[in-house]
Amino acid sequence: METKELDLWFTEEHSKEAKFSIKVLKQLHSVQSPFQKIDILESKEFGRFFTLDGYMMVTEKDEFIYHEMIVHVAMATNPAIKRVLVIGAGDGGTVRELTRYDTVEHIDMVEIDKMVVEVCKEYLPQTACRLNDSRVHLHFEDGLRYIRSKEDAYDLIIVDSTDPFGPGEGLFTKEFYGNCYKALTNDGILVNQHENAYYTSYAQSMRRAHCRIVNLFPICKVYQAHIPTYPSGHWLFGFASKKYDPVKDLDAEAWNRLGIDTRYYNTELHRGCFALPTYINQILERDS
Amino acid sequence: MNLLDQNRAPIYEALERYKSMRVVPFDVPGHKRGKGNIELTRFLGEKCLTVDVNSMKPLDNLCHPVSVIKEAEELAAAAFGAQHAFFMVNGTTSAVQSMILSVCKRGDKIIMPRNVHRSAINALIISGVIPVYVNPGINQQLGIPLGMSVANVKRAIEQNPEAKAVLINNPTYYGICSDLNTIAALAHGYGMKVLVDEAHGTHFYFGENLPVSAMSAGADMAAVSMHKTGGSLTQSSFLLCNHPDIHQGYVRQIINLTQTTSSSYLLLSSLDISRRNLVLHGKEIFARVKDLSGYAREEINKLGGFYAFSSELIDGDAVFDFDTTKLSIHTLDIGLAGIEVYDLLRDEYDIQIEFGDIGNILAIISVGDDMFVLERLISAMAEIKRLYQKDKAGMYNHEYINPEVVTAPQEAFYATKHAIPLQQSAGQVCSEFVMCYPPGIPILAPGERITKEILEYIAYAKQKGCFLTGTEDIYIENINVVGGS
């Protein structure tokens, strides 16, 4: 006789009126850190996944999309990037993609919550696998505090933060972006996860973040990716740069010669991902 | 009173009891527990509206407390080390005024520093009490008024032995404390009452290693803004009494002269609950607040250009002590007035601080803050320095101008007067206030001589963006001066 499975679901509210659910096989870990609640769950559809305060962070099945897109667009725009600062990203996926470049010499990763890194090292080796790379230096502190004293120090800053409520809030502020500008070299690039533009509450934080960056950097673009487990499935990234234009300055051949094996990113998509739907262009234009 | 009693909150408990009885209200307020004003209920929340109730037997009456308010006042008195504590719902303004009116009558003299809050001088207008101002002295580098030096108070007392009271502003907005113990003993030696405007000093009663509180220094009365650093709702406050000659019933009469007869139970319960919270947890709370502001001060001083001042200002006299929970920052060295930094923080960084004056800003750090918000403030300050720093030449740094008092405030306020353009008023006697708000310390008070120096200061403050207030003319272009036109 077939045993009946437990009717256990993970549900995240994507808006007040819309929810997203994944059937859960079992809960592997649950712990309250000084900052947030960390949960590791196992599912059939998305594999193992990790949530903070009940918000989806990473699933084994679709994390490649997010991590490839937050790293390779900037790396292909300026292959000379050597020094990188990653803020947030406790799951290690962003660092994993960065370590695929032999040319990257130094990676500082600043994550406020040490327990996130510990839990991910134990339960999500798929993303946390390169945190022990000799080029990677972990700092467990507030990103806003860390960056304040840095000047002309990084070629690339990646802000892989949680949503702008809770501990990630300071990473969506003008003072943070201003300090990023100061911490970047003359041809520096800032990439940040930019929320979605479909649900109103997220769209507002996206727009605010965008406006704040537009006032600081000469080149400001937004690009997109399809990430099934994030609200609306349509995720945006901010690309701000002091010198390089991500589309005009892309040397596709050079990047392709590196032979980095990817599953979502490619240089054709690189050009295309900056072409945004009209409703998003309208939101960005309206307030910038 | 033992600690067990302090676990109680009689007004709060009475409201909970009252709610559970589901009484049908045929009394005011007319919103009837919110049901008559759905929009307001949606905005403020049903829980809030259900306890917005009127005085009644089970909830006592603030005008004449006999049950739960009386108990709550006794608990508060014990918590503050006072003989009596009055719950105040018309702000600390009303507490300051009640203090002065309780010990002084028309024509009596009161010794006070000139850098008091407008509420103290308002009390003089209402009562006809005559001020004897003690120059608070000024820190030249920072441009801030200090506390009262013992020598200056002594001189004022000796020259005016008939004065009824000494009023001390402690701590000042900036966190500067006077030598309360010595001044209180000195004043008592001459039979004067000692009143303390302790609007910014609630935490002195509950934290450790903080400056001495008014009650423990032997003051006779103190006005304590529980809502400023104690966590209660805006407008709620305590008036503390500690002298056998100051009759409780008489003080209540004085309070009732101007206090509402429809006191808000939201305010009363917030005082009750906050008192309990501070007695039970105040030590940890204020230790944490001190750590937070200490950290912010250190980081801001590391940025260079800014000077977040602290206990190094202590000189044993006009700066007898310093309240290190305060985060006061001198900004002139980066070429920006405090008010300009205050505006930049709000307009560019969505950070609202307490006030900015000519040379400084003040951020209130409290139980509600954490490291994340402090990092935002520090980072925004770093950005302001990076992006807006300029030459400091031409920056004004004078905050305190010693006034020439020509007539008493009440006399000047009610005198025959006429309005003239502010900029042409030098030499005249002012009949009203001019001040920046906040901090609400009058630049000119009724009865004072208007000088060229004062007018220059006002023009500069206006140009830098200070919010000026006090005159009958809302545009602060004309001023009422004493005398017929």
B383 contacts A178? CB cut-off 8 A? yes
Out of A160, A163, A187, A287, pick the active-site residue: A160
C-alpha separations of B9 from B70, B206, B269 in Å: 11, 17, 8
The model's pLDDT over B291-330, given as tens digits with 9 standing for 90+, comes to 999 999 999 999 999 999 999 999 999 999 999 999 999 9
Q: Which amino acid is present at B63?
A: C
CB atoms B378 and A145 under 8 Å: yes
What is chain A's Cα-based Rg? Answer: 18
pLDDT at B4: 58
- In this structure, what are the phi and psi dihedrals at residue B88, rounded to the nearest 5 degrees? -115, 135
Residues of B with CB under 8 A from a CB of A: 299, 348-350, 371-372, 375-376, 378-380, 382-383, 386-387
Chain B contact present for A150, CB below 8 A: no
Question: Does the pLDDT at position A109 exceed 60?
Answer: yes
- Each residue of B374-387: pLDDT tens digit? 999 999 999 999 99
> Is the CB of A228 inside 8 Å of chain B's CB atoms?
no
Residue B251, both tokens: 């003080």
Whether A164 has its CB under 8 Å from any CB of chain B: the answer is: no
A148, A150, A176, A213: best mutation site toward chain B, by most B Cβ within 10 Å?
A148
Q: Are A229 and A19 in contact (CB under 8 A)?
A: no
Tokens of A84: 């990188």
Residue among B383, B384, B385 with most chain A CBs within 10 A, to mutate: B383
Side chain identity, residue A199: Y
Active site includes A160? Answer: yes
CB contact under 8 A, B371 and A179: no
Residue B399 has pLDDT above 70, yes or no: no
Say what the pLDDT of residue B397 is: 65
CA B82 – CA B45 distance, rounded (Å) = 36
Q: What is the pLDDT of residues A110-149, one digit of tens each?
A: 999 999 999 999 999 999 999 999 999 999 999 999 999 9
Whole-angstrom distance, CA of residue B252 vs CA of residue B269? 19
pLDDT attached to residue A150: 95
Of chain B, the percentage scoring pLDDT greater than 70 comes to 98
**Residue A279, SS3 per DSSP:** helix
What was the pLDDT predicted at B400? 62
Chain A with chain B: Cβ pairs closer than 8 A: 47
Q: How crowded is residue B478: how many other Cβ atoms within 10 Å of its Cβ? A: 17
Whether the per-residue pLDDT at B3 is higher than 70: the answer is: no
Quote the mean pLDDT of chain B.
93
| Residue of A144, A152, A169, A184 for testing the chain B interface, max B β-carbons within 10 Å | A144
Answer yes or no: is pLDDT of A199 > 60. Answer: yes
pLDDT score for B484: 82
A116 and A91 Cβ atoms separated by less than 8 Å: yes
Name the pLDDT band for B14 (thresholds 50, 70, 90): very high
pLDDT per residue as tens digits for the range A223-254: 999 999 999 999 999 999 999 999 999 999 99
> What ipTM goes with this model?
0.85
Contact A179 B379 (CB under 8 A): yes
User: Is the preceding peptide bond at B161 cis, omega within 30 degrees of 0?
Assistant: no
Amino acid sitting at position A129: C
Supply the angle between the helices A174-183 and B338-349 in degrees, to the nearest 10: 100
CA dist B13 and A87 (Å) reads 48
Please give the Cα distance from B14 to B5 (Å, whole number): 15
pLDDT class for B1, splitting at 50, 70, 90? Answer: very low
pLDDT tens-digit map of B168-183: 999 999 999 999 999 9
**In the predicted model, is pLDDT for residue B46 greater than 70?**
yes
Closest CB from B349, B372, B378 relative to A148: B378
A36 touches chain B (CB under 8 A): no
- Judged by CB atoms closer than 8 Å, whether chains meet at A175 and B372 is answered as no
pLDDT value of residue A71: 97
**Segment (H or E) for B194:** strand B193-198
Residues pairing with B111 in the sheet: B132, B166
The H or E element that residue A219 is part of is strand A219-226
Quote the pLDDT of residue A1.
Answer: 62
- Write down the pTM of the prediction: 0.88
Could A176 and B371 be called an inter-chain contact, meaning their C-beta atoms sit closer than 8 Å?
A: no
pLDDT at res. A194 = 86
In the block, which residue shows the tokens 């000093």? B201
Report the alpha-carbon distance of residue B424 to residue B452 in Å, rounded: 9
Q: Using CA of residue B151, residue B154, residue B158, residue B159, what is the dihedral sign?
A: positive
Say which of B375, B386, B387 has its CB closest to residue A144: B375
Compute the distance between CA of residue A47 and CA of residue A41 in angstroms, rounded to an integer: 8
> Tokens for A135?
């080029």
